[in-house]
Amino acid sequence: MSSALCWGVPLSAHSVFVMGTQYYDGRENAHTDYPVTDLLQMMGHASRPLLDNSSKCVILCHAPRKEYYKFLYEAPAQQHQMLPLQKSHRFGTAAASQNKLPTSSSPLRIIENKQDAVDYLTWTFMYRRLTQNPNYYNLQGVSHRHLSDHLSELVENTLNDLEASKCITTEDGMDLSPLNLGMIASYYYISCTTIERFSSCLTSKTKMKGLLEILASASEYANLPIRPGEEEVLRRLINHQRFSFENPRFTDPHVKANALLQAHFSRQHVGGNLSLDQREVLLYATRLLQAMVDVISSNGWLTLALLAIEVSQMVTQEMEDDERRELLQMSDLQLVDIAKFCNRFPNIDLSYELIDSENMRAGEHVTLQVTLERDLEGKTEVGPVDAPRYPKAKDEGWWLVVGDTKSNQLLAIKRVSLQRKAKVKLEFAAPTEAAEKTYTSYFMCDSYLAAEKTVAESKLIFVYFFHEPTVDH
């Protein structure tokens, strides 16, 4: 089997042979050593404690590397290193998160200033290794001053990157405050560079093709492996997708992510290592799309928000609109699957009322209360989504959206978790001038395609007149 399968195949044997310790890295156009963790995982498959008293692992490697790999028989001295992207992600999450993170000054504080960031690093394994192997970290010495200067420089450079990404802001040169993008990245635990890319690349006119390209450009996909011979496989895969690629570079992991997403939507089979890569792409995509919806709603773009929600449905159900229309003739086995799916499909009643509707004034806030009630049809709980092609069990998620379709303005959006019954309040600003307005309410699932069309009264058109503001106001 290939090396990547050492993590995904639950097989064991008396003997394991590792046929070489390097792999081809298409991005670098060079052969690179396997990570030590991969080698240890391969060795671990030589283990059948119920059948054998001992096991064997034979590692075949280039002769000059034989001496190096002897450390596998001993406990190696481990080093810890935070790459720039990792530092930005950790600090950005800690600065924006409402969760409590330990610092030396107070065990239950979040990072509120630069000193907290330095203190946070003193709790890491990297800090323990600085004095043990200073050359590895380019330290000139191990005195308290050397350590302090090194950590301060590390923090300063990382926070500057976060500020440039519009994830945090620095006040008085010391205190840190999270910005909207930073809080989104922290909540969904995604890279700050990813959230910056979403913010800078998405526009109100972005279409499906552009949205998929922006999604695939996320930093989370940068480490997708490019294996020997995959360029030709990806070339054939790309040629059969709905959306074209402009001058694709087949050693680019982001191009690979886009191709695997589109292959998933069109239900095109990919096997071997590509199926494992596709699983990773899909698992990231769900979280990335949720963050993307938040970025879009921050800009008030209604049409694009609805499009991103539809892509989330496609990721879960592995189908595009065109394929749905073609499924007209089905076998008995397919009909059984449809019956199972229909029994799980959500049946939800939706009603709404405008709070204090008689006294709505132009320029003030409007409160819309939505009541949601699910018919469980005898079941006691909802259970996971019926999505046999999604890599793992997934619970439903819903978005409640209010928007003006004429102006493409998103007025309010809230993510909702629904079991049997829920009441949700949405607040949005009334127009600044008195007028008659028609707004649309959408209740959309993140997992079921077209669920918003089958929910009773899912699209509610409410027309009301905003009065002139009173003199007191």
* Each residue's pLDDT tens digit, 288-306: 999 999 999 999 999 999 9
pLDDT of residue 455: 33
Task: Band the pLDDT of 106: cuts 50, 70, 90.
Answer: very low
- Domain 202-317 matching CATH 2.40.50.140: the answer reads no
Report whether pLDDT(102) > 60: no
- Condensed to tens digits (0 to 9), the pLDDT of residues 35-55 reads 888 888 888 899 888 888 899
Task: Band the pLDDT of 245: cuts 50, 70, 90.
Answer: confident
pLDDT of residue 356: 78
pLDDT of residue 388: 74
pLDDT of residue 82: 58
Mean pLDDT of 12-20: 92
Q: What separation in angstroms does the CA of 24 have from each of 16, 29, 39, 40, 229?
A: 21, 7, 16, 19, 10
- Condensed to tens digits (0 to 9), the pLDDT of residues 293-349 reads 999 999 999 999 999 999 998 888 766 655 544 555 666 566 556 656 665 666 777
The SS3 call for residue 30 is: strand
Mean pLDDT of 1-6: 77
Against a cut of 0.85, is the pTM above it?
no
Helix (H) or strand (E) holding 365: strand 365-374
Task: Band the pLDDT of 284: cuts 50, 70, 90.
Answer: very high
Task: Band the pLDDT of 100: cuts 50, 70, 90.
Answer: very low
Mean pLDDT of the chain: 79
Rounded distance, CA 76 to CA 62, Å?
A: 21
Contacts of 210 (CB under 8 A, 6+ apart): 201
Mean pLDDT of 358-379: 78
pLDDT of residue 60: 92
Using an 8 Å Cβ cutoff, are 115 and 106 in contact? no
Among candidates 78, 81, 66, which has minimal Cα distance to 36? 78
- Domains of the chain by residue range: 3-73, 84-188, 202-317, 346-465
Q: What are phi and psi of 275, to 5 degrees?
A: -65, -35
- Indicate the Cα dihedral angle 107, 109, 113, 117, nearest 10°: 50
The SS3 call for residue 443 is: strand
Report whether pLDDT(382) > 60: yes
**Could you name the CATH architecture of 346-465?**
Sandwich (2.60)
Helix axes 144-164, 114-121, angle to 10 degrees: 120
Rounded distance, CA 103 to CA 304, Å?
A: 41
Using an 8 Å Cβ cutoff, are 22 and 33 in contact? yes
pLDDT of residue 453: 41
Task: Band the pLDDT of 136: cuts 50, 70, 90.
Answer: confident
Report whether pLDDT(138) > 50: yes
- Domain 84-188 matching CATH 1.10.10.10: the answer reads yes
Among candidates 86, 1, 67, 13, which has minimal Cα distance to 38? 1
